[in-house]
Amino acid sequence: MPDKKIIYVDNNATTQMAPEVLDAMMPFMTEYYGNPSSTYPFSKKPADGIRSARKSMAELLGCDPAEIIFTSCGSESDNTAIRSALATQSGRKKIVTTAVEHPAILNLCRNLEKQGFPVVYLGVDSKGRLNMDEVHAAIDEDTAIVSVMHANNETGTIFPIVELAEIAHQNGALFHTDAVQSVGKVPICLRETKIDFLSLSGHKFHAPKGVGVLYRRRNTPYKPLLIGGHQERAQRAGTENVTNIIGLGKAADLLLAGATQEIAHIRKLRDRMEQGILASCPDTFVNGDLENRLPGTSNIAFQYIEGEAILLHLYHDAGICASSGSACTSDSLEASHVLQAMGLPFQSLHGSVRFSFSRYNTEEDVDVILAAMPKIVKTLRDLSPFGRMNESK
Ligand code: PLP
């Protein structure tokens, strides 16, 4: 256990597993350990459990259970969709994507570029939105797949994926969306769209880490990434991660029962926090498309100070876990590629912090953040000559 009370507002990074999810998983870790592919009755429980999880996921996404492929994570689903499209769209080599995708897409595309596949990285405006004229111009008869995320993980900006899928299809291309951040936050009914592939990841909505889904529209041409046994109707080889799949199904059931209340809850907390910070800390503004954004995500620019320094203070002064867009996982403090693509000025680029809420956050959490933030901002601005020079009086 952590040595202090933690205020966890980094739910776009990962979420706490729901207790109901753990309860549903436990019997499959202990009692029902049979291989779901075995034919004796002892394996019926795990096989039935997977079937019911598939049904729950399909209900959540508005598709048929047969269109759900269980994978190990969002990254695997992303990789499978793009590589499958390149393998099946003969005569077409181009990928059209955006400059603000998650590395699961961006680094894959950079890798594929080296192998000779042309990639177009569409730019975004200052709110993180695409220019639809540029979208039309980029998709042509050489395009195998268009891949645009449903919602951005850093700013929460939501993309018009239903319209983008139409445009892709008008040009004979497939359409994939990385919906890792939007599941349970933005309702979707896949059967009313032309989306071919959709990726999601369990750990972003209170299921365990290490399980994801690739939605594949019925009849969309497909080539598996993992070849081997006939699991998942030969679409993804490997003995199923039964326990995690059961957890994923339970997490989907919880959303089916409570997503509407959850969305209202996180939006209320996010908005109060945001308004409180903007009112109490000078020279701050919110990044992203404020009219079209995930309900629980807030990316705030604190001008003239370092996001990393704010994060250290948040944690050490008040136990608050938030995040900045800096690529600190790669040992560099390069500014966020998303905020760079949005053209943020230098003094805000390095001072942006993302707060992301979940069903487990409370009004008290917001009180703690609002009590801590003005002091931290003042301390850091006082320490920085740049901050002292520029701060509004
Ligand atoms: N796509 C987006 C938008 C994400 O935010 C993430 C994780 O943060 C991923 C993909 C990768 O998901 P996973 O960690 O399940 O591979």
329 CA distance to ligand 1 middle (Å): 14
Q: What ligand 1 atom has the least distance to the C-alpha of 202? A: 15
116 CA distance to ligand 1 middle (Å): 25
Catalytic residues: 328
Residue 241, Cβ neighbours under 10 Å: how many?
Answer: 19
Longest pairwise C-alpha distance within the chain: 75
Amino acid residing at 130: L
Question: What is the CA angle 280-286-287, rounded to 5?
Answer: 155
Find the mean pLDDT for residues 306-322: 96
CA 38 to chain centre: 35
Q: What ligand 1 atom has the least distance to the C-alpha of 78? A: 10
Q: Band the pLDDT of 386: cuts 50, 70, 90.
A: low
282 CA distance to ligand 1 middle (Å): 33
CA gap 39, 200 in Å, rounded: 30
The HSE-up count of residue 34 (CA atoms within 13 Å, CB side) is 16
Nearest CA, atom 13, ligand 1: 74
Averaged pLDDT score across all residues of the chain: 95
Q: Provide the percentage of residues in the chain whose pLDDT is more than 70.
A: 95
Domain architecture of the chain: domains with CATH: 7-15+259-391 (3.90.1150.10), 19-255 (3.40.640.10)
Report which secondary-structure segment, H or E, holds 228: none
Residue matched to tokens 């350990």? 33
CA gap 78, 193 in Å, rounded: 19
The rounded radius of gyration (Å) of the Cα atoms in the chain is: 22
DSSP result, 7-37: EE-BTTT--PPPHHHHHHHHHHHHT----TT
DSSP result, 65-109: GGGEEEES-HHHHHHHHHHHHHHHSTT--EEEEETTS-HHHHHHH
76 CA distance to ligand 1 middle (Å): 9
Q: What ligand 1 atom has the least distance to the C-alpha of 75? A: 16
Find the mean pLDDT for residues 76-85: 98
DSSP result, 272-335: HHHHHHHHHSSSEEEES-TTSB-TTEEEEEETTS-HHHHHHHHHHHH-EE-EESS-GGGT--PP
CA gap 172, 94 in Å, rounded: 12
Mind listing the pLDDT tens digit for each residue in 228-280?
999 999 999 999 999 999 999 999 999 999 999 999 999 999 999 999 999 99
Mind listing the pLDDT tens digit for each residue in 173-223?
999 999 999 999 999 999 999 999 999 999 999 999 999 999 999 999 999
Residues touching ligand 1 (Cβ under 6 Å) are 73-75, 102, 104, 149, 153, 178, 180-181, 201, 212
Mind listing the pLDDT tens digit for each residue in 187-199?
999 999 999 999 9
